[in-house]
Structure 1
Amino acid sequence: MTDMLITARHALPLLAVAQAQKELTHNEALTLIDALVHSAVEAGPINDPPSDPAPGQCWLVGDNATGGWHDHAKAIALWTVGGWRFAAPRAGMIVTRLTDRARLRFDDGAWVEPRPIAVPSGGSTIDAEARSALAKLILHLAAQGLLISG
C-alpha cells in the first residue's frame, strides 16, 4: 500500500482513478474521520491497549506503547470491528479526555494537559468578593476542560 494516495493533513485514504473496491478505501477514510471529528478519547496517554475495547472507542497512546499499539507512540488509537486504527496527531489538535473531561492539546510533539490553577488564598488584605469571583471563574474554566482546578 505504499502507492496509496492520502490527504495532506490526516493521511486519509483517497480514491484512485479506476480503483477496484473503492468502498474499502472510502470506508477506511470515514472510520478515521469518525474518530477525528470532535475527538473524544476514553483515557490517555497510556502505553497498554485496553483488554476489552468497544468499537468506536479511542485512546491516546503513550510514549512507550506495547502490544497492538507498538510503534504508534502519541497516536490516537481507534478500536474498530476490524482491529486497531491509528491517526497521527498534528500540532494544535485538541481532544477531550472522557475520564476527567480535560481538553488536551497536541503541541511540540506531546499531548499537553491543562495546567492546574490554585484557588486564591493568603495575602494581607482579603477581598471576599474578588476571591469568590475568581473561584467561580476557575470552576467554570475547569468545567469547560480548559484548566484543572487545584
Structure 2
Amino acid sequence: MTDTTPRFAFPLLQAGQAQKEMFHNEAIAGLDLVAQPGVVAAGVDTPPSAPESGQSWIVGTAPTGDWTGQAHKLAGWSLGGWRFIAPVEGMAVWVIADALIARFRDGGWMLGIETAASLNIAGDQVVSERRPAIADPTGGAVIDVESRAALGSVLAALRAHGLIES
C-alpha cells in the first residue's frame, strides 16, 4: 500500500493513523494548488519577496533562494510557506502575466503552444494539417496579370502563416 497518491504525491490517510488532520490538510493544500491552476508568471527563478497567500508560479530552470532544487515545479505560497508540486505530462496552467496556457510536455513547460489535429469553430473545420504546395499561377493573356498578382498574394499569405508548404 502506498502512502501517497500516484500522480501528485498527496498524502493518504491510513487506518489507525495519528493526527490525520495534518495529512488531510496537506493533501487539500496540494489540491488547491493544482485544481484549475492559474499562476502569476511562468519561468520565474527568484521567489517573490512578498507573495500573497494563494498565489503561485511556475519555477524556471535555474531557481534560487527558497526555490533552489525545485526547477519546473509549481510553487504556491500559503500561510505555512512554500509548497511545491511536480507537474505531470500534459498538465495545463493558465499564466496570468501572459494570458496564455502553459503545458508541461516532454519535461518542460511550453507557453502558448498548443498541438491539435484541426481547429473547429461552431462545428466547422477551419484549419487542419498543412496541405501540399500550390504552384504560382502562370500563363494567360495580359488581362490575367492582375489575377495572377492577386492569387500570388493569397498564396504568399497562406505560406507565411504555414497553412500550405512553400
In structure 1, the partner of 2:39 is: 41
In structure 2, the partner of 1:78 is: 76
Q: Cα–Cα, structure 1 residues 124 and 82, in superposed 2: closer, same or farther, change >3 Å?
A: farther
Deviations 1:128-148 (A, max 9, x none): xxx8xxxxxxxxxxxxxxxxx
Match of 1:104 among 89, 98, 102: 102
Q: What SS is found at the alignment partner of 1:45? A: strand
In structure 1, the partner of 2:21 is: 23
Q: If the length of structure 2 is used for normalisation, what is the TM-score?
A: 0.67
In structure 2, the partner of 1:67 is: 65
Q: What SS is found at the alignment partner of 1:35? A: helix
Q: How many residues align?
A: 119
- Output the aligned Cα RMSD: 2.0
Structure 1 runs not aligned, ≥5 long: 116-122, 132-150
Identity level (%): 42
Using the alignment, how far apart are the partners of 1:22 and 1:45 within structure 2? 35
Q: What SS is found at the alignment partner of 1:7? A: coil
Using the alignment, how far apart are the partners of 1:124 and 1:95 within structure 2? 44
Structure ranking higher on relative contact order (CA contacts 8 Å, 6+ apart) = 1
Q: If the length of structure 1 is used for normalisation, what is the TM-score?
A: 0.74
Deviations 1:76-110 (A, max 9, x none): 00100010000000100000000121101000100
Using the alignment, how far apart are the partners of 2:87 and 2:34 within structure 1? 10
In structure 1, the partner of 2:139 is: none
- Does 2:50 correspond to 1:52? yes
Structure 2 runs not aligned, ≥5 long: 114-147, 158-166
In structure 2, the partner of 1:95 is: 93
Using the alignment, how far apart are the partners of 1:54 and 1:91 within structure 2? 28
Q: 1:53, CA displacement in angstroms?
A: 0.3
Using the alignment, how far apart are the partners of 1:103 and 1:69 within structure 2? 22
Larger radius of gyration: 2
Using the alignment, how far apart are the partners of 1:88 and 1:7 within structure 2? 13
Q: 1:26, CA displacement in angstroms?
A: 0.4
In structure 2, the partner of 1:139 is: none
Q: Cα–Cα, structure 1 residues 124 and 32, in superposed 2: closer, same or farther, change >3 Å?
A: farther
